[in-house]
Amino acid sequence: MTRKEWLLAAIFTFATIMAWVISDVFHARSQVEVSPKLQEVIEPINPNFNTDSLESTPSP
């Protein structure tokens, strides 16, 4: 490859990397707001199991 071809390849590589970095920054900066209803749905459930309710049910 000639010196001009190396320079052209370096410019295209630099432009590709810069476009990648800029798009990644834009993607990272975009924030999605979660609606209050959705926030309520995705809250964690209580991990403690209520065994008293199982003991009070009649067995077959």
pLDDT digits (tens, 9 = 90+) for 4-58: 999 999 999 999 999 999 999 998 888 778 788 888 888 888 888 777 777 776 6
Q: How many Cβ atoms are within 10 Å of 30's Cβ, its own excluded? A: 7
Alpha-carbon distance of 45 to 19, in angstroms, equals: 42
pLDDT at 3 over 90: yes
